[in-house]
Amino acid sequence: MPHDIRGGHETHWRQFGHGPRAALMIHCSLASSGAWAGVAEHFKDDLTMTAFDLPSHGKSARWDRRGDLQDLCVAMAKDFWTAQAGEAGPVLDGPVDVIGHSFGATVALRLAVEHPEKIRSLTMIEPVYFAIYYADDPDARAEHEAQNAEYRAAVARGDDAAAAKAFVGAWGDGRPWDSLAPEARARMIEQIHTISAVAPAIYDDRSGIIASGALERLDLPVLLIDGAQSSPHIATINEGLKRRIKGAQRVQVQGGHMAPITDPAPVAQALRAHLFGGS
């Protein structure tokens, strides 16, 4: 797995496929670049896919908890178009297809808004951009926070294990916490602080994407994917994004929030239609 400095952070990434068209893939929280393996298998002859590990995830360096975590992730993604000192060198050249899942989808969205010249197309799978939900329904925030009371209480008392268990119960792949391998649980407990760290970006529109009208100005092919068994909040978020982004398409696929991992085939089918017109 190659590594170099991206966005000022020691970053590891992997590549899938050997196709003529380039794509950048951004994984969800508490996962790693390997989460894209199932989807990538469907495009091994069509795309050369670069997937990097977010800070404190996979083999990338731990986040030092300074600055804004989403800002850092966007900077890391942007730097894949920039020549770096070191053996790895540049990876991407020209506009590419950018595909993000969950929190990774919010990073992909910011990349598209701030650097549209780098993007050929944008796909957001289960984007957790709750600022859209709250903008469209100001009363929704209190309801959503009440639904996450167990997680919020655990965070407030500094109980990382309980917070990770509650978070995975709401946003995981359906497996009970106690059924996960001990090393997997330990890794998620270690990473759980990153969830609270990105709250201002995904709940409060800290980067001003909504308030600035940037979504309405996006002018590129956009696909929004949600799982049929996922939280209804995601469908609401995708509808809000679809209303704002000119020409955006929304597709619902089999599976839940972790559909790229649990149900990669229907995700890949929707993605293929978006990228290649169903070819």
Question: What are the structure tokens assigned to 166, written together?
Answer: 């509650």
Asked whether the whole model's pTM tops 0.75, one would answer yes
**For tokens 């393996």, what's the residue?**
37
**Matching residue, tokens 């993605």:** 271
How confident is the model at residue 85, as a pLDDT?
A: 44
User: What three-state secondary structure class fits 48?
Assistant: strand
Give 88's pLDDT tier (boundaries 50, 70, 90): low
Residue 176 CA to residue 227 CA, distance in Å, equals 19
Query: pLDDT-based confidence at 106, cuts 50/70/90?
Result: very high
Query: Which residue has tokens 């990538």?
Result: 40
Q: Is the dihedral of CA 204, 209, 213, 215 positive or negative?
A: negative
Whole-number pLDDT of residue 278: 57
Q: pLDDT tens across 139-156, in order?
A: 888 888 888 899 999 999
pLDDT digits (tens, 9 = 90+) for 43-80: 999 999 999 999 999 999 999 999 999 999 999 999 99
Supply 266's token pair: 């229907």
Q: Indicate whether 279 pLDDT > 50.
A: no
pLDDT at residue 145, as a whole number: 85
pLDDT in the model for residue 246: 96
Is residue 50 within 8 Å of residue 13, measured between CB atoms?
Answer: yes
- Residues in CB range of 192: below 8 A, 6 or more apart: 30, 160, 163, 164, 167
pLDDT at 113 > cutoff 60:
yes
Helix residue ranges, H only, 192-231 = 193-197, 199-203, 214-217
Average pLDDT over residues 111-127: 97
Please give the share of the chain, as a percent, with pLDDT higher than 90.
Answer: 87
Q: What is the pLDDT of residues 188-221, one digit of tens each?
A: 999 999 999 999 999 999 999 999 999 999 999 9
Q: What is the mean pLDDT of the chain?
A: 94
Query: Is the pLDDT confidence value at 86 over 60?
Result: no
- Per-residue pLDDT tens over the stretch 232-270: 999 999 999 999 999 999 999 999 999 999 999 999 999
CB-CB contact of 173 with 262 (8 Å): yes
pLDDT for the residue 146: 86
- pLDDT at residue 82 in the model: 76
pLDDT higher than threshold 90 for residue 89: no
